[in-house]
Amino acid sequence: MVNFTEEQLQQIKAAIHKRYLELQEEIRSELVNAGEEFDVSRADDINNILADVDTALIDKQINEMRELEMSEKYLMELEFGDCVDCGGEIGFERLIANPSAQRCIECQRKFEKFYSAGNAPSL
Ligand SMILES: [Zn+2]
């Protein structure tokens, strides 16, 4: 466990909360924008709305929200701040900038390289 000070923990917690609200707002406005073109009271239109919305983007946002929830849950636990891959420190600055980070920068690069190399399941 990285030894964060109480103050650092509070800052990370605030960053998690802020990002969470941002994501909620982004998803809401995307759904509202898409919904404007349709009569939301008609059940048939729901599928049209969902077809119109960028579901890949929303999936990504919802996924990030889940990660933030996890981070918040782990915040007070021993593993918080440790990279899930190498067990090294993720780093305070990185957590503030990216509160859902699960990996140190090094491991994140490897992770993204792996997935962008076509190993990710295509939608
Ligand atoms: Zn790592």
What is the CATH classification number for the domain harbouring 33? Answer: 1.20.120.910
* Structural domain contains residue 29: yes
Q: What is the pTM of this model?
A: 0.69
- At a CB cut-off of 8 Å and minimum separation 6, what does 27 contact? 58, 61, 62
Judge whether 88 and 101 are in contact, CB under 8 Å. Answer: no
Q: Is residue 86 predicted with pLDDT exceeding 80?
A: yes
- Containing domain of residue 65, as a range? 6-119
pLDDT attached to residue 74: 81
Distance (Å, whole) CA 65 – CA 43: 27
Q: Pick the more confident residue, 32 or 60.
A: 60
Least confident of 57-61, 75-79, 97-101: 75-79
Reported as a pLDDT band with limits 50, 70 and 90, residue 30 is confident
* Structural domain contains residue 1: no
**Count of domains forming the chain:** 1
> How many degrees, rounded to 5, is the angle at CA 26 between CA 42 and CA 90?
140
Q: What residues pack around ion ligand 1 (CB closer than 5 A)? A: 83, 85-86, 88, 104, 107
Q: Is residue 41 predicted with pLDDT exceeding 80?
A: no
Query: Cα of 25 to ligand 1 centre, how many Å?
Result: 31
